[in-house]
Amino acid sequence: MRAVRKIKPGPGHIALCDIPEPDIEHPDDIKIAVQRGGLCGTDLHIRHGGYGFRPPVTLCHELSGEVVKVGTNVTRIKTGDRVTVLPTANGACGHCRHCRASEFFFCPQRKSVGSMRDGGFAEYCVIPQNLAFPLPESVSYDTAALVEPLACCIKAVLFHTKIVPGDWVLVSGPGPIGLMCADLARLAGGRVIVCGTDRDAHRLAMAKGAEHTVNVTRENISEFVRSLNRDGADIVIECAGVAASIDQCLDAVRPLGTFTQVALIEHPVEVNWGKIIYKQLSVNSSIAQNWPSWQRALEMVIDKTIDPSAYISHRLPLENWEQAFDGAERQEGLKYVLYP
């Protein structure tokens, strides 16, 4: 079968490969015919040799599909089920302090699908049944594939950041994660401002839930925010992952406000801690999902409180993986989804 794989460590070394079709080897496993695979910033980090991965491995941890075979111990899932996949919990022990706190990402035994175990950029994927969650016909495969990034945003915005209705919330970085965070902040009652640079103009236009969008290349974001709220933003959510954005967020947030870091940062960045200390800021960070945010994401897509498929700009066949990776690197469009 065809699969997009990271072949060996270091920058590059990704290729569309022909590999044997996987089959169930463990009685708790299920086999999925993959319908959609979302391209995440993590996949781009792996492309450049960053993040944790174990090659050779098939990429993609945002996936949905149809169950075509189940192991002899499988009772919760049946063939024909339409499922989304919780990739981060793969291999989590369930007994360590992190698992007991529902934070499986930090379990030392964890081996995520798409980086440590073969993922969804392939025709088929085999996973343990505990990672699969059936969804009704009313939830499209596009939406189902993006439950995972939605759960990450829910954890950051709804669980790690306290938003009081009426708060001014600045989201920096209008990529797929930034726009999901902005929509969630609005649903929590925040008055949302989304900012980006010249190259983000088309993305800023997609920030439908924001009360204001600001191009920071042309306008001072701190001055703009203070024209709305004299002391600054009550909350800033950093989704760009670059030093300039972090610095602008620390300028724009009010004294006693909240700074939440969501974007992954692979390399050291310089931060002016004086801006944090002298404003007495609450500083949060959030990575991946936990069980509560995953459950909330499932509920929200089923009852259509939010539909993450709205952030998809490109749908491409698997053989066009390089076009998708390159387009995402250049920040063309928004969310890229591959299908086999």
Concatenate the DSSP letters of all residues of 218-284 into one string: TS-HHHHHHHHSTT-EEEEEE-S-SHHHHHHHHHHEEEEEEEEE-S---S-----HHHHHTTT-EEE
Q: Which domain holds residue 303?
A: 2-151+289-339
Asked, for residue 166, whether it belongs to a domain, the answer is yes
Question: How far is 319 from 170, CA to CA, in rounded Å?
Answer: 38
- 48-77 pLDDT, tens digit per residue, is 998 889 999 999 999 999 999 999 999 999
pLDDT band at 240 (very low <50, low <70, confident <90, very high): very high
Residue 208 pLDDT exceeds 90: no
CATH code for position 233: 3.40.50.720
| 146 lies in the same domain as 166 | no
Compute the C-alpha angle 289/261/243, nearest 5°. Answer: 140
| 138 lies in the same domain as 66 | yes
Q: What per-residue confidence (pLDDT) applies to 209? A: 81
Last residue of a domain, one of 242, 263, 285: 285
Residue 267 pLDDT exceeds 90: no
| 334 lies in the same domain as 279 | no
Asked, for residue 320, whether it belongs to a domain, the answer is yes
Last residue of a domain, one of 285, 300, 315: 285
Q: What per-residue confidence (pLDDT) applies to 257? A: 98
| 127 lies in the same domain as 192 | no
Asked, for residue 234, whether it belongs to a domain, the answer is yes
Residue 35 pLDDT exceeds 90: yes
- The DSSP secondary-structure symbol of 290 reads -
- Name 253's Cβ contacts closer than 8 Å, sequence gap at least 6: 170, 232, 233, 234, 235, 236, 259, 279, 281
Q: What per-residue confidence (pLDDT) applies to 95? A: 96
CB 86 within 8 A of CB 133: yes
- 129-166 pLDDT, tens digit per residue, is 999 999 999 999 999 999 999 999 999 999 999 999 99
Mean of pLDDT over the chain: 96
Asked, for residue 273, whether it belongs to a domain, the answer is yes
| 12 lies in the same domain as 123 | yes
pLDDT mean over 204-226:
95
Last residue of a domain, one of 243, 263, 285: 285
What ranges in 57-96 are assigned the alpha helix state H?
none
| 173 lies in the same domain as 257 | yes
Residue 266 pLDDT exceeds 90: no
pTM as predicted:
0.96
| 31 lies in the same domain as 143 | yes
pLDDT mean over 106-123:
97
| 17 lies in the same domain as 122 | yes
Asked, for residue 73, whether it belongs to a domain, the answer is yes
Q: How many CA atoms lie within 13 A of 22 on its CB side?
A: 26
| 105 lies in the same domain as 200 | no
- Looking at the DSSP assignment, which residues form a beta bridge with residue 65? 34, 83
| 32 lies in the same domain as 79 | yes
Asked, for residue 123, whether it belongs to a domain, the answer is yes
| 29 lies in the same domain as 145 | yes
| 132 lies in the same domain as 55 | yes
The number of domains in the chain is 2
CB 22 within 8 A of CB 5: no
Asked, for residue 75, whether it belongs to a domain, the answer is yes
CB 287 within 8 A of CB 266: no
Asked, for residue 156, whether it belongs to a domain, the answer is no
CATH code for position 323: 3.90.180.10
